[in-house]
Structure 1
């Protein structure tokens, strides 16, 4: 392959799995970013813009430490009922979150940014609309028991690649965007950057 190095500035297992599955060579260096500070300075009504800003900030944070590498930052936000939904702090909060979304739609915004030499050279965001089915309390409790506290690592308290698929009746958009990164645009940019062969 090329001599270009790629660093993923994310601790997300789903993003690592996407890149590994696509045959992308990379290393991981988790960005040390205070997301609450970024969120506080951003318009909460602009969920897509916030995802993009968080992806850029993460890519820049790592790029400053290793300027010669290509650094991929990524983030995801969930917009529901006119506001932002964050990761649930507890299983009780996760249950309440999922119950509130029952029978309604929400949007996931997944963003990615590529930085080099301490500058963002590319960024993109993609949006998916997910329609949650009107599931029963019995199903919800079974789901929470089966998935456990691992759900607390996911915005929205679900993983579509697991039992969480049963929460939905329709998804309008790209599967990879649901998982946390707009993979097709990322791969195209990595080819342009010389990280991947054309």
Structure 2
């Protein structure tokens, strides 16, 4: 989607409305941006999440979420198709008793997660990082471009889930690529009894947090509506 010139009442063109690039293949994050009325395009990063997390063994769950979000945004920001855009990277990590849990990937791992977290409360951390490529070429080092980041966290309480129900949920495939082996915008909502914090952060992208980050870069989120 190309940036557009906004005409003022005096006929003079206003500043170009920037475009958003989502550095994620997550359908849930895409749905959040669509529901918020924010046009965007998708460029998926090549970041190896497990390798990056392993390279920072001392990072806590919240810090890991932010490291991954930053890595994804910076990876996509150097792509030619991201030139002149605001690149949004996000990643989520679930925490129970100080231990980080990312995507389970395998059914056996997801089922074990549910045995552990049934009837308990954990924290879902979603890191956000926005790289502004509007002021220069994407060929420069990521650190040379304006960028801002923030973390959004929310607590999630689960119902007591019996083995058969957990197995049935895992069999749907939904939790395999979700941090903490669950999501609240799908079948997993049946097993969540309370969320304290921004529900969109639990799904994967806090629009409220994004609004603040865009403002830090001189962009009003409302200016993107209807572009």
The one of 28, 33, 50 equivalent to 2:42 is 28
2:97 and 2:105 map into 1 onto residues whose CA distance is 20
Which blocks of at least 5 consecutive residues in structure 2 are unaligned? 5-15, 134-141
Alpha-carbon distance between aligned partners in 1 of 2:180 and 2:124, rounded to the nearest angstrom: 9
Q: Tell me the distance in 1 between the aligned counterparts of 2:220 and 2:84.
A: 13
Deviation track 1:60-115 (CA, whole Å, cap 9, x = no partner) reads 11112234211111111111233111222322221111111112111110111110
Using the TM superposition, name which of 66-75 and 42-51 deviates more: 42-51
174, 178, 182: which one pairs with 1:150? 174
Structure 2 residue aligned with 1:171, among 180, 195, 205? 195
CA distance in 2, matches of 1:157, 1:102: 11
1:193 aligns to what SS in structure 2? coil
TM-score, length of structure 2 as denominator length: 0.78
| CA–CA separation in structure 2 for the residues paired with 1:142 and 1:37 | 30
Unpaired runs of 5+ residues, structure 1, are none
TM-score norm. by structure 1 comes to 0.89
> After TM superposition, where is structure 1 displaced by more than 4 Å over at least 4 residues in a row?
none
Deviation at 1:17, TM superposition (A): 0.5
**Hey, what's the Cα distance between the residues in 2 that align with 1:141 and 1:32?**
31
Closer, same or farther: CA 63–52 of 1 in aligned 2, 3 Å: same
Q: 2:86: which partner in 1? A: 70
- Tell me which residue corresponds to 1:58: 72
Q: Name 2:13's counterpart in structure 1.
A: none
Number of residue pairs aligned between Structure 1 and Structure 2? 196
**Counterpart selection for 2:167 from 136, 141, 144:** 141
Distance 1:81 1:5, change over 3 A: same
- Larger gyration radius, structure 1 or structure 2: 2
Specify the alignment match of 2:123 in structure 1: 107
Paired residues of 1:56 and 1:120 also in contact (CA < 8 A): no
Secondary structure, in 3 states, of the residue corresponding to 2:100? strand
